Amino acid sequence: MNLRLTKYYYGDIPEEKTGGGTAASSSNTEAGWPLWEVFIRSKQGLDHKHVGSLQAADAQMAIENARDVYTRRSEGISIWVVESKHIHASNPDDAGAFYEPANDKVYRHPTFYDLPDELKHM
Amino acid sequence: MSVQELEQLFQAKVDQEIKIEPKDWMPDAYRKTLVRQISQHAHSEIVGMLPEGNWISRAPTLKRKAILLAKVQDEAGHGLYLYSAVETLGTTRNQTIEDLHSGKAKYSSIFNYPTLTWADIGAVGWLVDGAAILNQVMLCRTSYGPYARAMVRICKEESFHQRQGFDILLQLSQGTPEQKAMCQDAINRWWWPSLMMFGPKDGESTHSDQSMTWKIKRKSNDELRQQFVDMIVEQAKILHMTLPDPELKWNEARGHYDFGEIDWVEFWNVVKGNGPCNKERLQARRDAWEEGAWVREAAAAHAAKRKDRQAQQVA
């Protein structure tokens, strides 16, 4: 692939135009905190919904950070956090075959059944 | 499947407005462009806290102080949403931050200008956040899912930022002659740097526009800049303030305001590190990182201790 990205957009200054500071910092040597996925219930009666992720040393800190980051405007009444490494996901490359069994079962949908118009409350 | 076929599939998804998600196949250059752009955006949020933080302790009233604190806290949150989005592309947080500290990664040049008076906080909210919002509203529809979702969240919070800025200027514009002069002075200093936020002119490149094809971006720099000028000129009338551009005038034929030429020498100078505050900003970030090292270590030690204690209780 031979792409030349020569058009610079807002917030996208190319690296070759760099200048200024060159001092190296040693930040990369320390071990980072684990990543956590955050789920929030916005109000009683609704599901917890994935809202994003953050880093924290442990679960309690993750919950406190999630409160500060994701609920500053009363967006939630309950928070779940789970370490990202514990999330297992289906493979998007296999999506076709994986979900195929449902595709030919249109009779699972109520609209499959053509019933008389006189029939009420169904 | 060959790379060419994968690329065709990828582009077909983008063309159909299907979002690209972290585990989906994507061209290397797409990933690289996103890492650069989102991390620059994240750094801009974090560095952007510095010029405003400068005025937290000197805000004129308790109300203004509380509002400014909340705004700066929002910026930290926005940085975090974006750092998380970068992480989904397979780059570590530490590497991203390291690239800022080493000078490799950029952030928006606007934050290399100083906030000299209280009116500057108003001008930053009105003009700088106003310019950022136009870009961010567009990015809510960007093709990469995690970036788009971060932008939706940010846009929800950002409109308060612009309104509080305008509110500061509105009050100054109705104040004493000194306050009015302070308001006009801040607008004069922030107007051109705000226009520069949209980046170089479209005409500077004749190459095909990859970010547009990939739908990372959906509007050109000049389109967004024009949108900004048209919007701000009208809003400035409410403040009874002027914008420092003698060439600014309504063009009936175009249906837009014409405006003068940006000083591109200044633009590239600031990008290259020679703006009024480049060194100070970067040093402040490095210091914050280094002086915060003990906090990160202590938190890790505390977490380990708490884990041990819980294990003992179970046993």
CA distance B180 to chain A (A): 31
CA distance B9 to chain A (A): 12
Closest-CA residue of B relative to A36 is B84
> What is the pLDDT at residue A21?
38
Q: Which of B94, B139, B281 should we substitute to test contact with A (largest number of A Cβ atoms within 10 Å)?
A: B94
pLDDT band at B159 (very low <50, low <70, confident <90, very high): confident
Closest C-alpha among B31, B248, B49 to residue B146: B31
Which among B3, B29, B135 has CB closest to A11?
Answer: B135
Q: How far apart are alpha carbons A10 and B299 in whole angstroms?
A: 37
Asked if A16 is an interface residue toward chain B (Cβ–Cβ < 8 A), one would say: no
| Arithmetic mean of pLDDT, B261-280 | 94
Closest C-alpha among B104, B100, B97, B40 to residue B282: B100
Which among A9, A10, A20 has CB closest to B278?
Answer: A20
**Residues in chain A closer than 8 A to B133 (CB atoms):** none
For residues B46 and B78, is the Cβ–Cβ distance under 8 A?
no
Closest C-alpha among B37, B68, B23, B46 to residue B214: B37
> What is the pLDDT at residue A107?
94
Q: How far apart are alpha carbons B66 and A42 in whole angstroms?
A: 25
Q: What percent of chain B has pLDDT over 90?
A: 89
Residue A37, judged by CB atoms within 10 A of its CB (0-12, 13-18, 19+), counts as buried
**Residues in chain B closer than 8 A to A23 (CB atoms):** 101-103, 286
Asked if A113 is an interface residue toward chain B (Cβ–Cβ < 8 A), one would say: no
Given the structure tokens 């040093």, which residue do they identify? Answer: B283
CA distance B286 to chain A (A): 8
Which among A3, A18, A52 has CB closest to B29?
Answer: A3
**Residues in chain B closer than 8 A to A10 (CB atoms):** 135, 197-199, 221, 224
Residue B247, judged by CB atoms within 10 A of its CB (0-12, 13-18, 19+), counts as exposed
Taking only the tens of pLDDT, chain A with its 122 residues reads: 444 433 444 445 555 544 433 333 333 334 678 999 999 999 999 999 999 999 999 999 999 999 999 999 999 999 999 999 999 988 888 888 999 988 889 999 999 999 999 999 88
DSSP alpha helix (H) spans, chain A: 59-70, 95-103
Q: What is the pLDDT of residues B81-105, one digit of tens each?
A: 999 999 999 999 999 999 999 999 9
> What is the pLDDT at residue A30?
47
Cβ atoms within 10 Å, residue B40: 21
Asked if A27's CB is within 8 angstroms of B97's CB, the reply is yes
> What is the pLDDT at residue B103?
92
Residue A9 main-chain phi, psi, to 5 deg: -100, 170
Is the predicted pLDDT of residue B295 greater than 70, yes or no? yes
Q: Which of B84, B161, B223, B267 should we substitute to test contact with A (largest number of A Cβ atoms within 10 Å)?
A: B84
Q: Which of residues 22-61 of A touch B (CB under 8 A)?
A: 22-25, 27-28, 30-33, 35, 51-55, 57-58, 60-61
Q: What is the pLDDT of residues B186-223, one digit of tens each?
A: 999 999 999 999 998 887 754 448 889 999 999 999 99
Which among B84, B108, B205 has CB closest to A54?
Answer: B84
For residues B131 and B228, is the Cβ–Cβ distance under 8 A?
yes
Stronger pLDDT, A12 or B148, i.e. the higher one: B148
Q: Which of B9, B26, B95, B106 should we substitute to test contact with A (largest number of A Cβ atoms within 10 Å)?
A: B106
DSSP per-residue string spanning chain B = --HHHHHHHHHHHHHTTPPB-TTS---HHHHHHHHHHHHHHHHHHHHTHHHHHTTGGG-SSHHHHHHHHHHHHHHHHHHHHHHHHHHTTT--HHHHHHHHHTT-S---GGGGS---SHHHHHHIIIIIHHHHHHHHHHHTT-SBHHHHHHHHHHHHHHHHHHHHHHHHHHHHHTS-HHHHHHHHHHHHHHHHHHHHTT-S-GGG--S--HHHHTTS--S-HHHHHHHHHHHHHHHHHHHT---S-TT-EEETTTTEEE-----HHHHHHIIIIISTTHHHHHHHHHHHHHHTHHHHHHHHHHHHHHHHHHHHHH-
Asked if A73's CB is within 8 angstroms of B7's CB, the reply is no
Stronger pLDDT, B11 or B307, i.e. the higher one: B11
> What is the pLDDT at residue B18?
96
A to B CB pairs, distance under 8 Å: 158
Q: How far apart are alpha carbons A80 and A50 in whole angstroms?
A: 9
A24-33, B26-35, B62-71, B306-315: which range is least confident on average?
A24-33
Asked if B25 is an interface residue toward chain A (Cβ–Cβ < 8 A), one would say: yes
> What is the pLDDT at residue B315?
76
Rg (CA), chain A: 24
Asked if A57's CB is within 8 angstroms of B302's CB, the reply is yes
> What is the pLDDT at residue B314?
83
Q: What is the pLDDT of residues B52-66, one digit of tens each?
A: 999 999 999 999 999
Given the structure tokens 């070759």, which residue do they identify? Answer: A16
Q: Which of residues 66-125 of B touch A (CB under 8 A)?
A: 70, 73-74, 77, 80-81, 84, 87, 92-95, 97-98, 101-104, 106, 108-109
Q: How far apart are alpha carbons B220 and B113 in whole angstroms?
A: 25
